[in-house]
Amino acid sequence: MPTARHDPQLLAALQDGERCLVWARRRSDGTLYRLADGDAARLKAWTKEHLECFMPDCRNRRLTTVARHPRRRDGFSHYAGAGGHSAEGEAHQQAKVALRAWVQDTLGGHGVSAVLEQASADRSRVADVMVTWPDGRQVAIEVQYAALTVEQWRQRHESYWQQGVTAVWLLGHAGGHLRAPRRRSWEQEETLAGRVALGDLHAAMTEAGLPLLWINPVWGEGAGESAGKEVGIGTVAVTTTPHRARHDSYGDAWEETWEETWEETWDDGEADRENGGRAAWKSHDLVAKVPPGPGTERAVFHADPLSACSLTPEGLHTPTLRKLQATALQLAAVNTARRRLDEEREAREAHARRAYQDRQQARQDHQRALAEARERRMQRQRQLQRQRQEQAWEASALHEDLVWTYGLVPQLLRVRLDGEDHKYGENGIFCPPEHWRTAVYHHLIAGKIGRSFTLQDTYRVIRDEGITLAHPARARGGAGHNGTTDWMNAVTVWLQHLHAQGYLQVHRSLDRSLDRSLDRSLDRSLANRLVADGARVLADLDHPPAAPAPRAASAKHALTSPGLAGLPTSPAARHQQSTGHGRQSTASTAVPATAGSAAPVHVPVHVPVYVPDAGPPSTTTGPSALASTSELRAAEDGSGSLDVGSPQPPHVARPPLQCQGCGKQLDPILAAYGRHILC
């Protein structure tokens, strides 16, 4: 579980402890003696007679004792002009003798020996203190005050490891191995108390699995009887929390508290003000202190007396280090258990997601299958409806009179134009184009030269013919195309083609008033369009234009049939127009000139006449040789052949257009309006 809090003063006491020489050597046998605190005055004469300095490089080894201030420790001192040892060298030597004395006091009775400056088995390394167990296992204690690079340390450590010797590294309390971290701009000085900066050497040690340990041979307060009580061993720790990938409970002992929080819910950037949010529970785990790992830059310092530590063939263990390592083991077990729970939960959620996705995919496949079946059914229905419409067209009186007179549907009525949707029903008119065009031509154009009509008239003619028109609100595009619908576009494209051929003069009426007689289902903008857009009849098939215009650029096929006569009212009337009896003859009819036109143009017209006593007509223009609508379309596309009769009349230049307002010449661009912009 988590360790106790550290005392920030421990780092200052171990790092900035006073410099004091407390060890001396007996002149008689060379053994080391430690001066207890408070004995300086009593042992002053005995020290001068029996003790000397144990430092290897000391030139004047005579010593005396110094009784310092009650708050400062007693110690040995050289005579004036002698001594002069470096602080790091003095601390290094005292640390070695203190460690050997501690090992002999604690483990000497178990057959464990501690020798200063003993070489390793291969003589490659010399340990500061070599500790040997009766079974031959060894621990080399290295006290390191001097600077040491990572590569130098790694070579020494690997040398011990290869010889089977456990290396214990104790960094010196003075020098560059124990430093406070550098304060960042946003940090306060008090927040750095008790913290240690870790460098590359520390990272290499933790990466090798070694604990970070420091030593101060003169540490602590009071007059202890044991040498170990005044030797400080420091270590560091970092704070962490257990693994957590979710806010709900894991059900272990590391969850300290549960807190109910209120999270706001957001929808399209706005807070849910009605509900205010939703309740959520969040757990807070206990904070644990563990040994630092590789990459740690800062750590919290802890210190323990050497007398509370223990030495085993595996290494040196302080009370703090034992707690940190035990906590790390518990935390690792908790993290393993929590990750296993997360994996199980993720597996369940993944299974649930896959099941949900499978259900969604199955639902989508089912919906797609239904849609495809519905589309196939609708296609069959459209195909059947189209066949019925074509059959109705071929069985209609208009079609019968048309083909009886001309032998086929004139190209003017079956031309395929650019910008016109030829897919059945997509243009809003549910019938073959020839059907509604023939109805418009028969009722509004044939024999009505000089008259005008509007889109409203075409709408009524097509509707009265029994042809289904798409409702304006439901038509593709609706009123989104400047208030028009697709059926109006189809009619307009064809009327513009007639305008280009000289049969009509399409214009835009200046009267924008609304016709109240329109169907109420049509909106106002559509009604205005129906009334406003109109055309004036200039010619028909009986009286073709005297000066035909060039081919319309929007037509896919040029007009290949000759100028044709108007539609007779009945077969009997057509029979009366026949010039022979008991035979079929072809008459060449002169087309009278209309007002303002050129001289009459003689256009040969094939008029098949049925004679009862001669049997059915034998020409290819009679009713028995009529081509079906599909055959006519095949002939248009070039996939079939069809005799369209005599050639067209020669093309001549059209007279210039004139403005209906001022009578001046009109630019062809304004032909659709019939007037100048200012007129």
DSSP state of 580: S
Paired strand residues for 76: 21, 65
Amino acid at 474: R
Evaluate whether 603 touches 563 at the Cβ level (below 8 Å).
Answer: yes
239, 332, 339, 289: which is closest to 1 by C-alpha? 289
* Residue 292, phi then psi, degrees to nearest 5: -70, 155
Element housing 451 (H / E)? none
In the chain, which stretches have pLDDT less than 50?
1-5, 221-229, 263-276, 472-484, 509-528, 552-653
- Residue ranges of alpha helices (H) inside 533-591 are 571-576
Domain ranges of the chain: 9-242+286-317, 396-670
User: What are the start-end ranges of the E strands in 264-336?
Assistant: 266-267, 270-271, 278-285, 288-290, 298-305, 310-312, 315-317
DSSP state of 445: I
Task: Tell me the two tokens of residue 257.
Answer: 């508290």
Q: How many Å separate Cα 620 from the centre of its chain?
A: 69
Neighbours of 382 (CB within 10 A): 15
**Strand 126-132 relative to strand 113-119: parallel, antiparallel, unpaired?**
antiparallel
Evaluate whether 54 touches 32 at the Cβ level (below 8 Å).
Answer: yes
Neighbours of 236 (CB within 10 A): 29
Paired strand residues for 310: 317
399, 405, 527, 404: which is closest to 465 by C-alpha? 399
C-alpha 379/C-alpha 88 separation (Å) is 99
**Strand 587-591 relative to strand 601-605: parallel, antiparallel, unpaired?**
antiparallel
| HSE of 233, CA atoms in CB hemisphere, 13 A | 26
432, 421, 389: which is closest to 488 by C-alpha? 421
- The reported pLDDT for the residue numbered 260 is 56
**Integer Rg of the chain from CA:** 57
- The reported pLDDT for the residue numbered 65 is 87
Neighbours of 211 (CB within 10 A): 20
C-alpha 31/C-alpha 72 separation (Å) is 26
- The reported pLDDT for the residue numbered 272 is 43
C-alpha 429/C-alpha 438 separation (Å) is 14
Overall size of the chain counted in residues: 679
> How far, in Å, are 270, 292, 330, 406 from residue 197 at the CA level?
47, 12, 26, 107
Three-state DSSP at 667 gives coil
Question: What residues have CB less than 8 Å from 484, skipping those under 6 apart?
Answer: 477, 492, 526, 529
Question: What residues have CB less than 8 Å from 146, skipping those under 6 apart?
Answer: 88, 175
Task: Tell me the two tokens of residue 523.
Answer: 């909106």
C-alpha 555/C-alpha 73 separation (Å) is 117
- The reported pLDDT for the residue numbered 551 is 53
C-alpha 525/C-alpha 483 separation (Å) is 5
> How far, in Å, are 122, 496, 665, 673 from residue 668 at the CA level?
112, 13, 9, 10
Task: Tell me the two tokens of residue 15.
Answer: 């790092």
**Strand 213-216 relative to strand 166-172: parallel, antiparallel, unpaired?**
parallel
What angle separates helix 200-207 from helix 150-162, to the nearest 10 degrees? 20
- The reported pLDDT for the residue numbered 667 is 72
63, 70, 82, 81: which is closest to 21 by C-alpha? 63
Three-state DSSP at 678 gives coil
Paired strand residues for 316: 311
Q: Please report the sign of the dihedral spanned by the C-alpha atoms of residue 248, residue 252, residue 254, residue 259.
A: positive
Q: Mind spelling out the 3-state secondary structure of 218-245?
A: CCCCCCCCCHHHHCEEEEEEEEECCCCC
Amino acid at 623: P
Task: Tell me the two tokens of residue 32.
Answer: 């080391």
Task: Tell me the two tokens of residue 637.
Answer: 């596309």
C-alpha 65/C-alpha 648 separation (Å) is 142
- The reported pLDDT for the residue numbered 204 is 94
Task: Tell me the two tokens of residue 254.
Answer: 């590391």
- The reported pLDDT for the residue numbered 284 is 74
**Strand 310-312 relative to strand 315-317: parallel, antiparallel, unpaired?**
antiparallel
Q: Is the pTM of this model over 0.85?
A: no
Q: For 93-127, how does the pLDDT look when each residue is reduced to its tens digit (9 = 90+)? A: 889 999 999 999 999 889 999 999 998 888 888 99
Q: For 162-220, how does the pLDDT look when each residue is reduced to its tens digit (9 = 90+)? A: 999 999 999 998 878 888 888 888 877 777 778 889 999 999 999 999 999 999 888 75
> How far, in Å, are 12, 237, 320 from residue 195 at the CA level?
10, 9, 16
Amino acid at 256: E
